Amino acid sequence: MEPSHKDAETAAAAAAVAAADRGASSSSGVVVQVREKKGPLRAAIPYMPFPVAVICLFLNTFVPGLGTFVSAFTVLCGARTDLPDRHVCCVFWLNIAAALIQILTAIVMVGWIMSIFWGMDMVILASYKEQGIPQQL
């Protein structure tokens, strides 16, 4: 049975930490990079200008899903996402789906909380864009 890719990454990270612990006094260091794995809905959040992202957060706070719905149209206006291999229309519909999920589940507070967190993610991504931080974190 061959080890999976995730097992190999975990083993490599553990080996890097062990090597760093052994060679703490040496001049060579080990850099371990951690990347967040995003699902398709989360990766479809567009990188918008900061003021637009703040407006979407405001809208999502008071009317769950409305800011996410507005952000879907920024994709059609050229906003980039973390899904470069998907067509613009597909990313647009993913954002519309996220907005509908937020609206439909707002009755039980789940959608409202999700909507606020979605808006916060929009503002965080907009601040990355403003600061020139690369998309793939």
Q: What are phi and psi of 47, to 5 degrees?
A: -85, 100
Domain ranges of the chain: 47-128
The reported pLDDT for the residue numbered 31 is: 86
pLDDT tens track, the chain, 137 positions: 444 444 444 555 555 555 555 544 456 788 888 877 888 889 999 999 999 999 999 999 999 999 999 999 999 998 999 888 889 999 999 999 999 999 999 999 999 999 999 999 999 999 987 777 765 54
End-to-end CA distance of the chain: 32
Which of these, 98, 104, 9, lies nearest to 46 by C-alpha position? 98
- 74: nearest Cα among 97, 59, 91, 99: 91
pTM for the whole thing?
0.70
- The Cα 126–Cα 54 span in angstroms is 9
Residue type, 97: A
Q: CB neighbours of 124 closer than 8 A, spacing ≥ 6? A: none
CA 44 to chain CA centroid, nearest Å:
8
Using alpha carbons, select from 83, 95, 86, 94 the residue that is nearest to residue 56.
95
26: left (phi > 0), else alpha (psi -120 to 50), else beta?
Answer: beta
Model pLDDT for residues 79-107, shown as the tens digit of each residue: 999 888 889 999 999 999 999 999 999 99
Report the sign of the C-alpha dihedral through residues 59, 48, 93, 37, in that order. negative
